[in-house]
Every structure is written in structure tokens, then in C-alpha cells.
Structure 1
Amino acid sequence: MMEQRNRVVQVSRFGDPERLEVVDAHLPIAGPGEVRVRVLASSLNYTEVLIRRHLYPQTMRLRPPFVMGYDVVGAIDQLGEGVHDFQIGDRVADMTVVGSNAGYRTLRARDVARVPAGVDAAEAAALILSWTTAHQLLHRAARIQRGQRVLVHGAAGAVGQALLVLGRLAGLELWGTVRGEHMALVRELGATPIDYQHQDFTRIVPGGFDVIIDGVGEDGYRRSYAALKPGGLLCAIGFSASVQAQRRMIPILLEIARLYLWRLLPGGKRARFYSVNAMRARHPNWFKDDLEQLFGLLATGAIRPRVAARISFEEVVDAHRRLEAGGLEGKLVLCPDLSRPSQRAA
């Protein structure tokens, strides 16, 4: 009988995509309270650019080598001691932050969400970080109400698209900043597009926006804060502008800290930094409930995340280059069962 291999995507050193390597690792064994899954899909997220460049607060203590992979959809192939709620073959999902760009991995049984039969594994993986983030931003952090005016920065990105789709389902009035070539996409998703290179979003809505969700962080979030109406809320979720400018972590953290000082200014505007990991740590049941709700919407066809490409292990380094360059209109998803690029399904 041929011995099972466990291929993994490993960071050899912090830095450029070339620091990633695909290596063979030991096959993990499910411990007490764990399940082992054969990985069906693990999406590549912009957050992993930050992890690879040592700019992500939640992984600052990690040192290479370690395995990449923020999320996972897999089929259980081994049950650890004390696990009784699952069976071999059940499909489950989890947000792991690292460790899931692999052929096999173990997960804590109490953390995983069930994946409905029949849904596409790559589409399910595309929901885990981006769509759960979007759902929680709207319904947990901002507590949006029907009819509110909401601006989404980076609206063509994975989280941006999810925010527009879920925001439309919630009855919001939506705007999204994008590059000129993505204006049609934003319009198709039910929002008013803003070409940030040629239009001033601070002057679009008289009186200001109720909520602004900013994953770009240009100018230290100042212009987004200025575009709020009195009493409005700025949810910062990232700082891609600082990453592209190759800024270091300390100045970025100072900008995030300043958000919380702005609430002391007159005008009643609010600002906060949202972290899906911090939210999950405080309310672990919310994450599983929200993700399973999204899987239900996927199963019924109410939502459909865009998968830009399904990639093999051999394509991971190039995929990270594409991810870092920006401009993708969908997720890149690692599917370990793809042995070569010609097997990829759009």
C-alpha cells in the first residue's frame, strides 16, 4: 500500500512570494477531541500577504518555517479519541489562520462548522474568511439598519464583494470605491461605483455616510473619517495601502491606535478596528453560527462567491504574486487534488 504524503506550503523566510516552498511533511494524527481532514480547498487571502511579510498582528510571534493557510474545507478521514458528533467522510470547515495549505491537517472538533452536501468545496472555502468578515462587519460590528448609506473601500476585492452582496440583501444603500476597470462589477453587485482615482468619495453623499468600511487605510483613514455623517461609524479592517508602500509595522499600529482617539473629537463620529479573530475569541459561537448561515445561503443559491481560479500546489508562488498585485475579481483557491494546472476548472 502506498504511503500517504502530506504536501504543505511552507514559509521558509518572511518576505516575497519566493520565500514560499512546497515540501513533504509528516502525516498528522488526530489527537483527543480532534478530527483529521483531507483538505479539499483552502483559499488564498490578502491577509496571507501580511503574514508572509511579517505584518499581521495575530501571527507576529510565529517564526519560519511554518505552514500557510488561513481557512480549510475538508473531508474527515480520522476521528480522535472522544469525538462522537462526526463520522468519517463528513465535510467540515474552519478558519485556522495558518496551517491549512496542506494535503491533510487536524482540527479541533468543537471548532469546525458543517459544510452542506452538494456545495462546491472551493466556493465554500471562499466564504470562510471574507464572507464571515463581511457578515460580522454588517450585523455584529456596525449593526446596520435597512436604508442606511454605506461606503465600501476596495469593493472589487473578496471582502468588498461580500459586503455589497450581503448589504444588498439587508436593504442598504451602497457605494464602493474601485479602479476604473472594476466599475461594472460593482454596479452589477447592486452598488454605486466610485472611481477612486478620479472621484472624491468625500463629496459623493451630502451629509456623509452612515457607515464606512475601509480595508485600504490610505492617508491613515483620515478621509474616510471625514466622509462620515455626525454619529457615523468607520470600521477599519485592513491597511493594504501601507503594505503596498512597504511600511513597517509600528507606524501601521500607531495609525490603528489613533482610530480610538478620534472618538474623543466633537461630532459624535465613531471609529474602530475590526478583527475577525478578536471577534471569534470573544464570541466563538458567533463565528460558527454565522459561517453555517452563509453555507446555507450558498446551498440555496442565494449567494455565490467568485472563484477566480482553482490552483495546484505548483501554482502557489505565482498565485501569491497575483494576490499581492491586486486587481483580482475573485478568490484564488488551493485545491490539493489538482495535480497540474491543466486540471483547473474556472
Structure 2
Amino acid sequence: MGEPLNRVVQLSKYGGPECLRIVELPTPTADAGEVRVRLLASSINYTETLIRRHLYPQTAAYRVPFVMGYDIVGEIDEIGPGVSGFAIGDRVADMTVTGSNAAYRVLKANDLTHVPADVDPAEAATLILSWTTAYQMLHRSGRAARGQRVLMHGAGGAVGQALLSLAKLAGIEAWGAAHGRYAALICELGGHPIDYDKEDFARVLPGGFDIVFDGIGEDAYRHSFAALKPGGLLVAIGYSAGAEAKQGMLRALANIARMYLWGLMPRGKRTRFYSINAMRARHPEWFKQDLGYLFQLLSERRISPSVARRISFDEVPEAHRQLEAGGLQGKIVLCPKERE
């Protein structure tokens, strides 16, 4: 008998969740420098709804159909020639952007981070994109120091929740801006809640914030820039407001360019755009180091990532609908062996 077929979530065309198809493809084999993993967990991220809608710059040139899946925790079941440091049965993780909503996936051995055997694969998967993004924004891009005051927009989302938790761990005072229903959660994570519907975040802290992390990009980041103290830093990480308003990608990129121009004005304030993929390309060793540190924190139970639901392949389209509707307080994670 040959290899089993590989069940995957495939994007048949750009558009809504109905464009996602569950199909069976030939199972890949590991080539030189590669390993094949059996999927244990792959988190479903809001970023993937942008990929699906053709609003994500990094995948804008991709031609459909292709397999979805931004990250993966898997168990090695095949090792290609020339690979050392890994064994059959090892648990590993990688951030792939696409291709990991699949029962089997081939990965480059040099890109992998070991996953401790004592951690839950679903919890580990939540760390790959959202928590590593939060950690690198806080410590690599923002270089936040103990005692500083920072503001996180969209604090009820996955990255926001992670940043509040990591800020508390590092002795950084954090405010979380979100809609009022997230206030209790923000307090639980150690942050000070700011209700978008009732408060002007630019006036909450007299003198302004040391750092503002903005993953929304509303009004081309103008209001976030105003919330900074002199010499403060705006770290922009996305443009979900533009995506929700169905603005085109060129408009979103123009807003980012405008943010950089504001940073050149003589106000003593600075701007920086953070991309986890761009930082990984420049500093691949940082990505593995930071993700490995987060896995260590998880193993020691010093952090507690939230898994809202564990789903099967057939439930992925509905998970995209739930992400776009908002209101989730944890990650949806594809865990096929648990659910099928």
C-alpha cells in the first residue's frame, strides 16, 4: 500500500469562507534538508482571513489554489538526507504563512524549533504567530524597559492579549484599548482597560505613552501618534481597520507610508513598522530563540495561552467566519487527530 492521501484546507479562489475547500492531495515526501511532520495543531489566525480575501501583501502574488495554514506544530515521521539534530517522533514548530492546514507537511529542518514534549500542542501552536509577534514587538522592535508605559490597540485580540501578559511578566505597565466587553479580560491579564466606545485613548495618560502598538491603523495611525509622549515610539503592526472597511491593499500601504512621513516631522516622536516575516528574514536566529523562550515559559506555566476551540478540517471555514465576526477570547486551533 502507498502513502495515505493528505487532507488539506485549500483556497479555491480569493473571497469568503465558502472559497475554502477540504480536499485530498498526494502526501509529500521529505527531500534533502527536510523533514515531514504529521500535523498535531495549526492555529487559525485573523491574518488568514486577510490572505483569503487577497488583502495580505506577502501573499498577494500567490495564484490559487493553494493550501492555507500560517503555523504548525507537528510530529516528525520522515527525515530527509543530510538532516541532523532531529529524530522520528520529535515535536517541532514552524511559521509557514501558508500550507500548514494539512495532515502532513514537509518543512526545512533549518527553520524548525523544538517543542517540549510536556506542552499541549494546541497551546504551543498559539505561540507561533501571535505570541512571538507580541514578544518581538515588545522586546525587539519596541525595546520596552521595565517601568515604561505602553498602549496596545486591539487588546482583546490574540496579539493584544499576549502583549499584556508579556508586559506584566517584564514589569512594563500596559494599557489595553478595546471595546468595553473586553475590560474584565484586560484587567485579568494585568492591563488597564480603555473603552474605545467611551474614552479617548490619546487623553488617558497625561504626558503620553512611551510606546503605542497599533495593529488597527485607523485614520492612518494619526490618533495613535498623538497619544505618544515627546520622544515616544509608534510601532505599527497592521491595518485591520482598512481591511474591515474593505479598503484596497494600495490604500493600506499608502497609510503606512504616511505614518513614516509623520515620523520625519520635528516632534521628537518616532515611528516603526513591525512585520514578523520581515524580522525573521533579517534575523532568523531571533525567531527560533524567541519562540523557544516562549515554549520554555509555557512548559514552566509562566504564561497561559487561551485555546477557545479545537476543530477538525471540516470546521475551518466556520472558524474563519467566527474570526471575522470578532469577540473570541482565545485561539481556534485545528487539531485533526483530536477531532476526527
Alpha-carbon distance in 2 for matches of 1:307, 1:120: 10
For 2:6, the equivalent position in structure 1 comes to: 6
For 1:78, the equivalent position in structure 2 comes to: 78
Report Cα offsets for 1:44-81 as digits up to 9, x if no partner.
Answer: 11111111111111111101100000000000000001
SS of the residue corresponding to residue 197 of structure 1 reads coil
For 1:285, the equivalent position in structure 2 comes to: 285
For 1:328, the equivalent position in structure 2 comes to: 328
What is the aligned-residue RMSD (CA, Å)? 1.0
Alpha-carbon distance in 2 for matches of 1:2, 1:126: 33
Report Cα offsets for 1:16-63 as digits up to 9, x if no partner.
Answer: 111101100110000100000001000011111111111111111101
For 2:219, the equivalent position in structure 1 comes to: 219
Deviation at 1:202, TM superposition (A): 0.7
Q: In 2, are the aligned partners of 1:102 and 1:336 still within 8 Å (CA)? A: no
For 1:179, the equivalent position in structure 2 comes to: 179
Alpha-carbon distance in 2 for matches of 1:48, 1:7: 18
Q: In 1, are the aligned partners of 2:35 and 2:78 still within 8 Å (CA)? A: yes
Alpha-carbon distance in 1 for matches of 2:326, 2:235: 21
For 2:106, the equivalent position in structure 1 comes to: 106
Alpha-carbon distance in 2 for matches of 1:222, 1:145: 25
Identical-pair percentage: 65
**2:89 counterpart letter in structure 1:** G
Alpha-carbon distance in 1 for matches of 2:270, 2:326: 29
SS of the residue corresponding to residue 110 of structure 2 reads coil
5+ long unaligned stretches in structure 2: none
5+ long unaligned stretches in structure 1: 341-346
**2:227 counterpart letter in structure 1:** A
Q: In 1, are the aligned partners of 2:112 and 2:288 still within 8 Å (CA)? A: yes
Q: In 1, are the aligned partners of 2:311 and 2:339 still within 8 Å (CA)? A: no
Q: In 1, are the aligned partners of 2:35 and 2:76 still within 8 Å (CA)? A: yes
Is the counterpart of residue 39 in structure 1 residue 39 in structure 2?
A: yes
Deviation at 1:287, TM superposition (A): 0.2
Alpha-carbon distance in 2 for matches of 1:3, 1:293: 36
SS of the residue corresponding to residue 337 of structure 1 reads helix
Q: What is the 5 A alignment of 1:303-342?
A: 303-340=303-340
Report Cα offsets for 1:247-287 as digits up to 9, x if no partner.
Answer: 11111000011111112112111112100000000000000
Deviation at 1:5, TM superposition (A): 2.3
Is the counterpart of residue 202 in structure 1 residue 212 in structure 2?
A: no
**2:208 counterpart letter in structure 1:** G
Deviation at 1:84, TM superposition (A): 2.0
For 1:65, the equivalent position in structure 2 comes to: 65
Report Cα offsets for 1:139-158 as digits up to 9, x if no partner.
Answer: 10011111111000010111
Alpha-carbon distance in 1 for matches of 2:262, 2:122: 40
Alpha-carbon distance in 1 for matches of 2:314, 2:263: 48
Deviation at 1:3, TM superposition (A): 4.6
Deviation at 1:338, TM superposition (A): 3.6
Deviation at 1:4, TM superposition (A): 1.5
For 2:268, the equivalent position in structure 1 comes to: 268
Deviation at 1:178, TM superposition (A): 1.2
For 1:228, the equivalent position in structure 2 comes to: 228
Alpha-carbon distance in 2 for matches of 1:7, 1:93: 19
Query: TM-score if structure 2 supplies the norm length?
Result: 0.98
Deviation at 1:2, TM superposition (A): 7.7
**1:196 counterpart letter in structure 2:** Y
For 2:130, the equivalent position in structure 1 comes to: 130
